[in-house]
């Protein structure tokens, strides 16, 4: 009898411990939206599809792939000549937007979810050229900084020099050369003209100084484009 009472006591204790240490499974966090795949306008290409509104504007339909766990999107479009950007919301995977003709643009899409409002997933960024009347040769897209990244803080070499790298593209694929401006002024001077490569090595720098640089891209037809002014700090 004593053994039976001992067994029952142990069983009750074990059952009680099981209840106190258990509880409901914590809820899983809502899923993060996936990345949208951009479809149209195509990357680094001439866009000549759309509805002409006037001599200076046309309507272009942007298209992208559906992203997992997303129920809305924010599309951002940047005029690469003026630097002005606009953002519009969409619940479908396409949106018609009125743009200036004969103008280069970049665009990307952010995937959003009403179940996880803190999560925002950015797509790649593509550039394209919205075609215009009477144009047979298009200016290159403005160059983009690759290294150092815009706003980066970097350490100088023992030689107190630094290398810069950029990338550029052109719908006509006829980039000829580049002009590089570099210095510690917000309006940097020209340091090298008609560079064939998209990099330049051993620019003189000094510590605890912010440097500014920009690139002018030139094609074989004499068309040019000017990047924005990039900056980085040498520690």
Q: List domains and CATH numbers for the chain.
A: 38-130 (2.60.40.10), 144-234 (2.60.40.10)
Task: Supply the pLDDT for residue 164.
Answer: 98
Pairing of strands 199-204, 161-167: antiparallel
What would the pLDDT profile of 126-148 be if each residue is shown by its tens digit? 999 999 887 788 999 999 999 99
pLDDT exceeds cutoff 90 at 156: no
Measured in whole angstroms, the distance separating CA 156 from the mean position of its chain's CA atoms is 27
| Percent of the chain topping pLDDT 90 | 81
What would the pLDDT profile of 4-25 be if each residue is shown by its tens digit? 444 444 444 445 544 445 567 8
Contact (CB, 8 A) for 187 and 203: no
Please indicate whether residue 138 or residue 181 has the higher confidence score (pLDDT). Answer: 181
Pairing of strands 103-112, 209-219: unpaired
Closest C-alpha to 183, from 192, 172, 196 = 192
Task: Supply the pLDDT for residue 8.
Answer: 45
Task: Supply the pLDDT for residue 118.
Answer: 92
Task: Supply the pLDDT for residue 1.
Answer: 46
CA distances from 34 to 67, 131, 147 (A): 5, 32, 28
| Percent of the chain topping pLDDT 70 | 90
């Amino acid at each position: 009898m004593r053994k039976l009472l001992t067994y029952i006591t142990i069983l009750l204790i074990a059952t009680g411990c099981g209840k106190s240490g258990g509880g409901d499974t914590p809820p899983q966090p809502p899923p993060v939206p996936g990345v949208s795949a951009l479809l149209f306008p195509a990357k680094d290409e001439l866009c000549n599809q759309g509805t002409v509104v006037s001599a200076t504007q046309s309507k272009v339909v942007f298209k992208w792939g559906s992203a997992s766990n997303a129920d809305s999107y924010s599309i951002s479009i940047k005029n690469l000549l003026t630097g002005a950007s606009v953002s519009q919301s969409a619940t479908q995977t396409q949106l018609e937007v009125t743009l200036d003709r004969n103008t280069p643009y970049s665009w990307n899409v952010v995937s959003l979810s009403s179940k996880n409002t803190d999560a925002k997933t950015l797509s790649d960024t593509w550039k394209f050229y919205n075609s215009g009347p009477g144009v047979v040769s298009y200016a290159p897209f403005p160059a983009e900084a690759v290294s150092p990244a815009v706003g980066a803080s970097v350490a100088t070499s023992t030689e107190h020099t630094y290398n810069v790298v950029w990338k550029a593209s052109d719908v006509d694929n006829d980039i000829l050369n580049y002009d590089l401006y570099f210095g510690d002024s917000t309006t940097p001077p020209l340091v090298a003209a008609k560079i064939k490569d998209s990099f330049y090595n051993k620019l003189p720098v000094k510590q605890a100084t912010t440097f500014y640089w920009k690139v002018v891209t030139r094609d074989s037809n004499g068309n040019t484009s000017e990047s924005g002014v990039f900056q980085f700090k040498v520690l």
